[in-house]
Amino acid sequence: MHLFDALLSSLFRTDFLEYLPMTRAITVLCLSGHDPGGGAGLQADIETLAAHGIHALGVITALTVQDSRNVRRVIATDPRLLDEQLDVLLADMQPDAVKLGLLGSAAQLDVIVHRLVALAVPVVCDPVLRAGGGADLVAVDFPSALRRQLLPQVTVLTPNASETRRLVPEAAGDLDASAAALLADGCMRVLITGGDEAEASTSVINRCYEHNAPPRTCEWPRLPETFHGAGCTLASAIAARLALGDTPDDAIDAGQRWTQRALARAVAVGGGRRIPGRFIE
């Protein structure tokens, strides 16, 4: 009995624990805005990634004044602070993928692109340009700067239809032509979501584009509610699957399926749009 007690005690000694192998968590670096209501932005990223068993590294790119209906004000993080945060964080941690959401200003792009080049991991970008309630979130020169500077580093770009038209005004609203222009700017895949298109339709059509291949369409039942944070959730789910080792096409498909389930379980936290139910069993 004394021998057993001694062996059991040794299992909990600090010096014994030092010899146990350390398992590194899979991580995704999220550069996103902060939504005080938790429906979108960094909180949506954290919840989605946690549901996939992934640890989120979070850097806030903008503070916002908003509720479940609309955004009233955006305050961009100073690029120097953003650079300092990333410098310290990435000296200690190596993310397996990156998810980009609302970027506070064009001045942040140089800092972010520099880090993405050095990291050389998959990047998912949700180009948040306008709030679901209609408020503009970025300056007029931001879309062209994003295309010019950021897209060559992006693995999957996930704009909705209205964001696509704003990113590529020269395409005159033609989504196929818009996608071709965005691919020409350098990104690997473009997933244009159709949840913001005509609500009279009973289906949501998402279109996935890549170089030298015909577009793939994915059709989902249109749910009766409107949502806050759906785009953040989808982009984070795709980033999660890329971090876990999926190919871009598999990650896009899995991310859409997961997000559709989250939308079907959406909850109300305020008087406006519902937020995705990201705690999926």
Q: Could you give the CA distance from residue 169 to residue 225 in angstroms, rounded to a whole number?
A: 29
- Residues 39-51 have a mean pLDDT of 97
- Mean per-residue pLDDT, 265-269: 94
Q: What is the pLDDT of residues 83-137, one digit of tens each?
A: 999 999 999 999 999 999 999 899 999 999 999 999 999 999 999 887 666 666 6
| R_g of the chain computed on alpha carbons | 20
Q: Say if residue 183's pLDDT is above 90.
A: yes
Question: What pLDDT shows up at residue 32?
Answer: 97
In sequence order, which residues have a C-beta less than 8 Å from that of residue 273 and are 6 or more positions away? 39, 68, 69, 132, 133, 225, 226, 227, 228
Q: What digits encode the pLDDT tens for the residues 196-244?
A: 887 667 899 999 999 999 999 999 999 999 999 999 999 999 999 999 9
pTM: 0.90
**Is residue 240 situated within a structural domain?**
yes
pLDDT given at position 47: 98
The answer to whether position 105 is within a domain reads yes
pLDDT for position 281: 61
Does residue 132 belong to any structural domain of this protein? yes
Q: Residue 12 pLDDT > 60, yes or no? A: no
Question: Which residues lie closer than 8 Å to 102 by C-beta, 6 or more apart?
Answer: 32, 33, 41, 61, 62, 64, 74, 128, 137
Q: What's the domain count of the chain?
A: 1
| 21 confidence band (pLDDT: 50, 70, 90) | low
Does residue 121 belong to any structural domain of this protein? yes
Q: Do residues 95 and 119 make contact, with C-beta atoms less than 8 angstroms apart?
A: yes
> In this prediction, what percent of the chain has a pLDDT beyond 90?
80
Query: Is residue 46 assigned to a domain?
Result: yes
Percent over 70 (pLDDT), the chain: 89
17 is a domain residue: no
Q: Is residue 229 part of a domain?
A: yes
Give residue 159's domain range: 25-264
Q: What is the CATH number of the domain that holds 174?
A: 3.40.1190.20
Residue 107 inside a domain? The answer is: yes
Mean pLDDT of the chain: 90
